[in-house]
Amino acid sequence: MIAFIGSVFSPYYARARRSGPADPLDHCAFNVVLYGPRGRSFAKRWAMTERGRRQVSRSDREFRVGNSIMAFDGESLSIEIDERCVPIPHRLRGTIRVKAQMLGADDYIIDPAGRHIWRPVMPSARIDVAMTDPDLCWSGHGYADHNRGSAPLERDFASWTWSRLSLRDGMAILYDTQPRQGAPVSLALRYGLSGAVERFTPPEPVTLPKTAWRIARMVRSETETDAAIRTLEDTPFYARSAVSARLCGESVSGMHESLSLDRFASPIVQLMLPFRMPRRG
């Protein structure tokens, strides 16, 4: 799930910026996706309806878009979801509670010009999901981070790759960005169970199979034979996957994303986006 203020992937926000500065609060959305195994009652549900300022409110603790709202009490994030899916108009309703097992206090610059900041807010968390539509629930490991910037992503980046991988005594987060100007930026952070964080030198990248949309993917791994991937989200400019690799001497697994801003900025993709990202109000 992703909450957007000034949706970075919005074709409406991109169009508005062509005429000059645009109001980010007029382009907000909750992107919620459920993945299910084949043969179950649902295979996938996707919602990302953009809403304008009149349907948005926020404070230092709450953020509401339409009928969906998230609230943070300093340790836990509570999210009430009430969305409608596209392209098949299923309802998507339920509650997500994310309880921090550790809190990240550091910001990291991910571009040479310093216009884009990333913070792993909850490097490790407990998550409890209780959906009413569809009817299912589960608990497990969670994660939450935050990105902010003072320029459009497609202006400053050609692409990036991110992954969070579980270790026996904590977790590792890897971030590799390819700016349009300047040298690539690489972050490799290792979090212990106590919450202590240290930078480490990551292994060389291993090339993974491209997606069906031909998005390039790579993962940092000490051996090529341990690197594998299962695609969860495959779009013309973005891929989300489950990945395995070898890191810090361990066989690890976790979540992975690849983003192509060249693809996102192309006129053809901009024309396609409204079919998956409708706007209301």
Q: What percent of the chain has pLDDT over 90?
A: 90
**What contacts 235, CB < 8 A, 6 or more positions away?**
213, 276
- By the 10 Å C-beta count (0-12 exposed, 13-18 middle, 19+ buried), 276 is classed as middle
Using the predicted structure, report yes or no on whether residue 274 has a pLDDT greater than 60: yes
171-187 pLDDT, tens digit each: 999 999 999 999 999 99
Residue with tokens 């594998």: 228
Q: In this predicted structure, what is the pLDDT of residue 39?
A: 44
pLDDT value for 158: 97
Band of pLDDT at residue 43, cut at 50, 70 and 90: low
Q: How far is it, in rounded angstroms, from Cα 6 to Cα 52?
A: 10
pLDDT of 176 reads 98
35 - beta bridge partners? 44
Mean pLDDT of the chain: 94
State the average pLDDT over residues 139-168: 96
Cβ-Cβ contacts under 8 Å for 38 (sequence gap 6 or more)? none
Global pTM value: 0.93
Mean per-residue pLDDT for 46-70?
A: 96
Q: What is the CA radius of gyration of the chain?
A: 19
Amino acid at 126: R
Domain ranges of the chain: 2-280
